[in-house]
Chains A and B, each alone.
Chain A
């Protein structure tokens, strides 16, 4: 191996390491602050790891704050949104991919249009709509709003997955004796599992970290989701960074678990061998 080649490999690896460090450093800092005792938080200056660690923040957040409620609310809202959106987007995406119907062009255009507005513009009208219906300050209201905002993109996502599955497969199933719906359920859907997993993951994370609407639509602590709850660690005179970071670490857990669960489908190319290729 020549010296020049070694240098280029070294530079390449260093660039990758620099990137990974840059991307993961905030997460590391979250973890570091969450285990730093309050006493050392301001007295030790900037250190990469505290001289003493403790789980006192976690203990406090779990036992003496409303974090478990926030956590449960977030789980309900994000889980329901992810499931509802994925079911709707699968059906809509299949229709977009396979059927030609009157007004298809306009439906696609309208769906695209909904993605073009800054959400802030829509907060006031949505509040005005939901308020008389009694859907403000309720998890149901949040699920409806999140579903409405996520369905268009999720539909495009699912459509592209369906487009990738050869039409011959469902035609073969229909000749074998299946109706179009049975062909969809037994042949196409199992092959779209990676797409479904990706959509579930995408929508779940989007709903999990959404702050704007939950802040505007929810006022009490009972129905607050965890991003809103994190703000409760900011009081008038101080910010409780240790507790906030501990809550943040715990909020990462479901998202991580979720991706661990679906990663098998994300990486698997299930359609291999279906047709020539």
Chain B
């Protein structure tokens, strides 16, 4: 196991910069998830750590040792690919033992390590099969088995569950978490699925446009997003945003939406009177059927039951937003409803998109 330090890493393809100076210190045994939309540079960063992409500038250290110019085989890391990348002409057992055979490990040691990994992953009855005779979930397990027999310094996962169906993904997600708890291996996991990021990570690294937007525990990112991007990316259904102007009248503040509607805030925020801002609130924090001085009337546009709860699509004049509730009384709702946006759950972002 090892720590991984990334210092001011840059990557360009020709004149096109992809990563703009990434700094990240990953502790020994930590599970870090790189999350972000397609093209944000998360896979490129992972492949640079693996040694599959050259580093344009900056430094990568594994266990304190600079690895920028080391070949992948000399970095002692294992990687699980989205496509599984199993060797089709080899049996499951041969696939799993390939790295050990390349290292000329003793035969009986290979046999015991592979058997151990196979039983851990429930692959024992499949050892003589070729990859084409396996289901998607089984193939993904073999890919993980191939990684764990090595006992590498770190595990890299490149969207390993993206090719699986929803139910299998959930199951494999739990298996990966369990595996990490058992092995305690330093892991870097790339995904665009924020649920995977939330459930697996010790720390999430949210990336966008080749820049780290925020690093923190899953709940830190959820409860206290550093900027508009993180606020919108983490959470499902996503956070509601209202653009407008923050106004103070005496003791209370209000928020004038761009459409002319004024939201009473029932408290004050750390903003200058009259400044332009974006207000954010998570759907589950929107209170439906509220009463009090700061309620507004919103019209119900659509009601989506998810089974677990209900997503209500609402409109304040031309501005659309969503509320999430567990209260089934709102299932048959139509017409108008009283809503309240509690000030303690509001997030304000300044003109530059930064949280204030």
Considering the chains assembled together, what is the distance between the CA atoms of A147 and B88 in angstroms? Answer: 32
Q: B87 to A169, Cβ gap below 8 A? A: yes
Q: A175 to B83, Cβ gap below 8 A? A: no
- A174: shortest Cβ distance to chain B, in Å? 5
Considering the chains assembled together, what is the distance between the CA atoms of A7 and B274 in angstroms? Answer: 84
Considering the chains assembled together, what is the distance between the CA atoms of A275 and B86 in angstroms? Answer: 7
B163 / chain A contacts, CB cutoff of 8 Å: 276
Size class of the contact patch on chain A: 20 to 34
Q: A175 to B88, Cβ gap below 8 A? A: no
Name B162's closest neighbour in chain A (CB-CB).
Answer: A276
Q: B79 to A172, Cβ gap below 8 A? A: yes
Considering the chains assembled together, what is the distance between the CA atoms of A173 and B163 in angstroms? Answer: 21
Q: B79 to A182, Cβ gap below 8 A? A: no
Considering the chains assembled together, what is the distance between the CA atoms of A174 and B79 in angstroms? Answer: 10
Name A187's closest neighbour in chain B (CB-CB).
Answer: B87
Chain A, 157-207, CB within 8 A of any chain B CB: 166, 168-169, 171-179, 182, 187, 190-191
Contact with A along B102-132 (1 / 0, CB 8 A): 1100000000000000000000000000111
A272 touches B (CB below 8 Å): yes
Which of A169, A187, A271, A273 counts the most chain B CB atoms within 10 A?
A273
A274 touches B (CB below 8 Å): yes
- B129: shortest Cβ distance to chain A, in Å? 9
Considering the chains assembled together, what is the distance between the CA atoms of A174 and B156 in angstroms? Answer: 14
B136 touches A (CB below 8 Å): yes
A270 touches B (CB below 8 Å): yes
Considering the chains assembled together, what is the distance between the CA atoms of A168 and B150 in angstroms? Answer: 19
B102 / chain A contacts, CB cutoff of 8 Å: 176-178, 182
Chain B, 120-162, CB within 8 A of any chain A CB: 130-134, 136, 139, 146, 150
Size class of the contact patch on chain B: 20 to 34
B72 touches A (CB below 8 Å): yes
Q: B132 to A276, Cβ gap below 8 A? A: no
Which of B83, B136, B163 counts the most chain A CB atoms within 10 A?
B83
A274 / chain B contacts, CB cutoff of 8 Å: 83-88, 131-132
Partner of A175, one of B79, B82, B130: B79
Considering the chains assembled together, what is the distance between the CA atoms of A181 and B16 in angstroms? Answer: 30
B132 / chain A contacts, CB cutoff of 8 Å: 272-274
Q: B89 to A191, Cβ gap below 8 A? A: yes
Q: A174 to B83, Cβ gap below 8 A? A: no
Q: B103 to A273, Cβ gap below 8 A? A: no
A166 / chain B contacts, CB cutoff of 8 Å: 83, 85
Considering the chains assembled together, what is the distance between the CA atoms of A10 and B238 in angstroms? Answer: 63
Considering the chains assembled together, what is the distance between the CA atoms of A48 and B294 in angstroms? Answer: 103
Considering the chains assembled together, what is the distance between the CA atoms of A148 and B131 in angstroms? Answer: 40
Check A190/B89 contact, CB under 8 A, given A175-B77, A176-B98, A275-B84: yes
B85 / chain A contacts, CB cutoff of 8 Å: 166, 168-169, 171-172, 274-275
A171 / chain B contacts, CB cutoff of 8 Å: 50, 52, 72, 79, 81, 85
Name B83's closest neighbour in chain A (CB-CB).
Answer: A275
Partner of A270, one of B83, B89, B99, B139: B89
B329 / chain A contacts, CB cutoff of 8 Å: none
B24 / chain A contacts, CB cutoff of 8 Å: none
B71 touches A (CB below 8 Å): yes
- B127: shortest Cβ distance to chain A, in Å? 15
Chain A to chain B contacts (Cβ below 8 Å), 22 pairs: A166-B83, A168-B81, A169-B85, A169-B87, A171-B50, A171-B52, A172-B79, A172-B81, A172-B146, A173-B98, A174-B71, A175-B72, A176-B98, A187-B87, A270-B89, A271-B88, A273-B130, A274-B83, A274-B84, A274-B87, A274-B132, A276-B139
Q: 6 closest pairs, A vs B, by CB?
A: A273-B132, A275-B83, A176-B99, A168-B85, A273-B131, A172-B85
